[in-house]
């Protein structure tokens, strides 16, 4: 049973006939409650990623300010900050 974020779901039914398996994919509409639940999960994961990136950026800023780094290391940390 597979679900996608779209409003339709792919379901594969298998029929066994004399040792031969036949797959019959069909599309069924996704329940609105299921879709809303998936969107909530997606939004929560995205929010968690944004918070994690913010934490990592704060750590990188502290490293630049507090640590005695070579110019190469400082450049590397600044590049990491710039890329996020």
* Alpha carbon distance 14, 21 (integer Å): 6
Per-residue pLDDT, 21:
59
- Write the pLDDT tens digit of every residue in 53-72: 999 999 999 998 887 888 89
Q: How is 41-55 classified by DSSP, letter by letter?
A: HHHHHHHHHHHHHHH
* Alpha carbon distance 21, 34 (integer Å): 30
What percent of the chain shows pLDDT beyond 70? 67
CA 5 to chain centre: 12
pLDDT value at 39 more than 80? yes
Reduced to 3 states (helix: H, G, I; strand: E, B; else coil), residue 30 is: coil
**Angle at 42 (CA atoms; ends 36, 45), nearest 5 degrees:** 140
- The full set of domain ranges for the chain reads 1-30, 31-84
What is the arithmetic mean of pLDDT over 13-27? 57
Q: Which range is most confident: 8-12, 28-32, 41-45, 64-68?
A: 41-45
């Amino acid at each position: 049973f597979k679900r996608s974020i779209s409003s339709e779901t792919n379901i594969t039914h298998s029929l066994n006939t004399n040792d031969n398996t036949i797959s019959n994919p069909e599309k069924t509409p996704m329940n609105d409650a299921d879709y809303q639940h998936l969107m909530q999960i997606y939004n929560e994961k995205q929010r968690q990623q944004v918070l994690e990136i913010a934490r990592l950026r704060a750590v990188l800023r502290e490293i630049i300010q507090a640590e005695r780094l070579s110019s190469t290391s400082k450049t590397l940390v600044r590049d990491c900050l710039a890329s996020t």
